[in-house]
Structure 1
Amino acid sequence: MSAPSIRMTKARKVSIAGIATAGAAAITLSLVPAGATPAEAAPVNAKAAPAAVSAEAVQAAVLSTGADAQKSSLDTQVQAAVEKAVQAKADTKNAAEAAVKKATAEVAAKKAAAANAAKKAAAAPAAAPKTYANNLDGWIREALDIMDKHDIPGTYNGLHRNIIRESSGNPRAINNWDINAQNGIPSKGLLQVIQPTFNAYHVKGTPFDLYHPVANIVAAANYAADRYGTIDNVFGAY
């Protein structure tokens, strides 16, 4: 009875060994990629089988490789964003500097233009004052310029006509026989003006002298404008 028992034990051992061998072969085949070369497909000895990579290890390796690739891509994007920001800052700084230079140049140009204009104005000879002849024609023309500045109406002909009638062009003429003379305020000058009228209608800028030819004309024209609208409307005693 004991001998058969021993044989069965051996048979079991053979069976177990066969199963183990088949299992190792299966593991070996599962690790060989499809389309591998004969050398790559060479069986792995039983001792190497336990070193086969597990599915979890393969998955971890794949995930690690993907994470590394994603990290590298993010690093590249971050670097690109940093470079872009630096360039934008540089461009803004350059634009600001260019604007400052342009404004400074414009101000300098305006200052230079103003300085040149002032220099030219200072170098230009002063306009010679207008002169008038010391005669009836010159007195009338000077009076007209003063009247124009003070908005007093009148023309050369209107003044000349009344002067000739009143004094014949004599600035020292005086009336000693009319009612004004009888009242002690005789008419005087080119347009025969009494002192109270001259005082009331004297124009600033002219001498305060009833006998002064220009002062006499302007005061008389100012009075005539107030009473008759203009000296041109006067054709007799006024």
Structure 2
Amino acid sequence: MNRRDELAANLADVRGRIDRACAAAGRDSAEVTLLAVTKTFPAADVALLADLGLTEFAENRDQEAGAKVAEFAALRPGAAVRWHMVGSLQRNKARSVVGWADQVDSVDSERLADALARASGEHPLDVLIQVSVDGDPKRGGHPLPDLPRLADHVARKGELVLRGVMTVAPLGMSPQQAFDALHGAVTRLRDDHPDANVISAGMSGDLEDAISCGSTCVRVGTALLGSRRLASP
């Protein structure tokens, strides 16, 4: 099986899982975005996935992503895709990241929001607040109880557009518990920020649980692309 056929089969399987999870939750599968996490995979794989109809791609390392985005643009000139930064981000990388990312999904502090606002220039940058459901500082993310304060801070930045929240289910908590907690917090958040309607939750192993709890975006890497490999130079 060639690589395109392999990716097509994986994509069909993932889309089937999303469709079944949405049906079980009484939701329309059109409500759920499939975000392909392409970290460590070459731009050639991104090009094939774009050929297969995917339009949203995510990276977690600025240095790798910048080169990959440029290589993809050369492979598929004019392709209408969006790039997300989903990894932990240091403030001194903000200017570099806004050079290639259409959206930063890992805003976890006021200082990072400020740095991204300063770096974004004339075009407002879409952002998600990364939430820590269990409050463990080692895992990254903003503590859930303090979400409203950070959301208000981001919303006051004219250079940023608050689109919603992102989380990763903690290892010591069931995905269902984690995503339930997030959904409750986002429901309250929308009272003050009605346009912050993105819930990015769920990955290859737990996307069904996330969809059952209202996720509008699942981040899938392994189930689409297989085991991690080295990116192209």
- Does 1 or 2 have the higher relative contact order (CA < 8 Å, sep 6+)? 2
The verdict on a shared fold, with TM-score over 0.5 as the criterion, is no
Greater helix proportion: 1
Structure with larger Rg: 1
Greater strand proportion: 2
Q: When the two structures are superposed, what TM-score results if normalisation uses the length of structure 1? A: 0.17
